[in-house]
Amino acid sequence: MDLIPLPHRTERAEGFFELGDGFGIEAGPGTEGTARWLRATLGAATGFALPPKKGDEYDVLHLSVRPGLDAEEYRLVVAPHGVHVQGGSPAGVFWGAQTMLQLLGPDAFRRAPLPGRTWRLPLTEIRDAPRFRWRGVMLDVARHFMPKDGVLRYLDLLAAHKLNVFHFHLTDDQGWRVEIRKYPRLTEVGSWRARTKFGHRASPLWEEKPHGGHYTQDDIREIVAYAAERHITVVPEIDVPGHSQAAIAAYPELGNTDVVDTTALSVWDTWGINPNVLAPTDNTLRFYEGVFEEVLELFPSEFIHVGGDECPKDQWRQSPAAQERIRELGLKDEDELQAWFIGHFDSWLTARGRRLIGWDEILEGGLAKGAAVSSWRGYAGGVAAARAGHDVVMCPEQQVYLDHRQDAGADEPVPIGFVRTLEDVYRFEPVPAELTPDEARHVLGTQANLWTEVMEDRARVDYQAFPRLAAFAEVAWSGLPAPAERDFAGFERRLAAHYGRLDALGVAYRPPTGPRPWQRRPGVPGRPIDGPPPNR
């Protein structure tokens, strides 16, 4: 049974349970969503109607929520006359159904039945539960826009790997991707750039055509509802106060108008850290309160991500208005000014029953009391935040930034950053060893990040994500041993079967032998970094 992620406990018996035309579903209270999902997915793959059935009939899949199990815990029993999936909550039932789908073989992930295919499940009992409550993937749709159907497909891929948080990076210098009705120019102007740098920012190559797009509010509602059906929480990111040139291009008054002519700015067409940041004015605060009011209506998530990373302070140092604000607030410097900016939205979100999360730069100048941290610059920010009593999501760039290259070979497309092999990702440990047990309880979980500067389309995202995302999913879900003791050879054996599932799902993953010819990008310069990444 080549399951990914690896279950906590599996007991196999001799024999199989065969599914036939009469196979049906008994959906207990709270499991109706999983039954609906199975009829749509498994029904499409098998051609079976999967009608409602009663518990005393044969050939029944029994779905039930059972007290005594943790919320995401499940128990899957395949017996000679039927199948039972029990979960501690509807989410647990859904994860158990995902495991059942894997047991049926790769063809269970197809969208239409293959002629002559028989369907059977090995007689078995599986007990399983996740290690972390936050098992996330960040997808950047600001640098390269992914249309709605691609996002929905990615949610299916996350669900198939028991990942449950979709961090939706919606705004940046290169594009604003979510409709805000109060400020229509954010998408009318801010969602399109005139051209795009092809490759790393030092590349001489340009794609000389407009790039962009955005999600309407109805698109967002559909995405959030689709995710919820799969027990995935969508956490939106609206970047402040840096990474904001697209917003400033749409509304120049948001920028530091006493330093630069913000009316001359356009949506940025290249990559890197942009000097044009939001002005720390009351007008800016009120504007973004208006943005967040609509964001809260669209996203019911506990956490709202506000970015907070890579905010150069040069314009604030040169700005008389920013310097006056520092004096007026009794702050020490520009770092404390950013902390004040982030703190304002922490208080604002807290008053509305939400929690702020930001990249680890929000630690600089003092961390807002209720804020959580996405630790991306290594482990240090997460360690500092956890020791200070703040919740942490561990996503260190050197370990789980999947835009980094997978191999040192010359054929890797647009090689960025350190080499992070499949095995490297499999041996990633989210909880720093130096944390005490009490401090470690602040580690909510872990997240892999997909930044799309050099991922121009869905196929490129697939290539960078898979199969490494399968390894990451096992790290996030399964109670694995210490990194050096993990059975990577065993994972590779199970992955050989998992490639068949990815094929059935149409995932353009990187083959173990290296990129296929059409996956290469000859002549497009990247920014490879030699040597092992720092482990700190």
Give the bridge partners for 9, in sequence order. 127
Task: Specify the pairing of strand 192-193 against strand 392-394.
Answer: unpaired
Catalytic residue among 59, 229, 310, 492: 310
Is residue 93 very low, low, confident or very high in pLDDT (cuts 50, 70, 90)?
Answer: very high
Q: What was the pLDDT predicted at 536?
A: 65
Instruction: For tokens 């879900």, name the residue.
Output: 477
Q: What is the pTM of this model?
A: 0.98
Q: What was the pLDDT predicted at 54?
A: 83
Asked whether 141 and 151 are in contact (CB, 8 A), the reply is yes
SS3 463: helix
Average pLDDT, the chain: 96
| 297 has pLDDT over 90 | yes
- Those residues whose C-beta lies under 8 Å from the C-beta of residue 449, and which sit 6 or more positions away, are 137, 138, 140, 167, 376, 395, 397, 400, 401, 402, 403
Structure tokens at 506: 């149409």
Ranges 297-301, 362-366, 383-387: which has the least confidence: 362-366
Q: How far apart are alpha carbons 482 and 444 in whole angstroms?
A: 19
pLDDT tens digits, one per residue of 151-199: 999 999 999 999 999 999 999 999 999 999 999 999 999 999 999 999 9
Which helix (H) or strand (E) is 327 found in, with range? helix 320-329
Catalytic residue among 72, 172, 364, 439: 172
CA angle 269, 463, 157 (to 5 degrees): 105
CB atoms closer than 10 angstroms to residue 518: 9
Catalytic residue among 243, 390, 442, 498: 243
pLDDT tens digits, one per residue of 12-69: 999 999 999 899 999 999 999 999 999 999 999 999 999 999 877 778 999 999 999 9
Structure tokens at 104: 């049926």
CA angle 271, 456, 454 (to 5 degrees): 40
Asked whether 319 and 283 are in contact (CB, 8 A), the reply is no
Q: Specify the DSSP class assigned to residue 263.
A: G
Is residue 370 very low, low, confident or very high in pLDDT (cuts 50, 70, 90)?
Answer: confident
Q: What was the pLDDT predicted at 58?
A: 79
Does 335 participate in catalysis according to the annotation?
A: no
Structure tokens at 390: 């703040």
Q: What was the pLDDT predicted at 368?
A: 72
CA 310 to chain centre: 20
CA 22 to chain centre: 38
CA angle 130, 132, 136 (to 5 degrees): 105
Which helix (H) or strand (E) is 393 found in, with range? strand 392-394
Does 211 participate in catalysis according to the annotation?
A: no
CA 419 to chain centre: 21
Does 243 participate in catalysis according to the annotation?
A: yes
What's the half-sphere exposure (Cβ side, CA atoms, 13 Å) at 458? Answer: 13
pLDDT tens digits, one per residue of 209-261: 999 999 999 999 999 999 999 999 999 999 999 999 999 999 999 999 999 99
What is the maximal distance between C-alpha atoms in the chain? Answer: 78
Structure tokens at 429: 């440990």
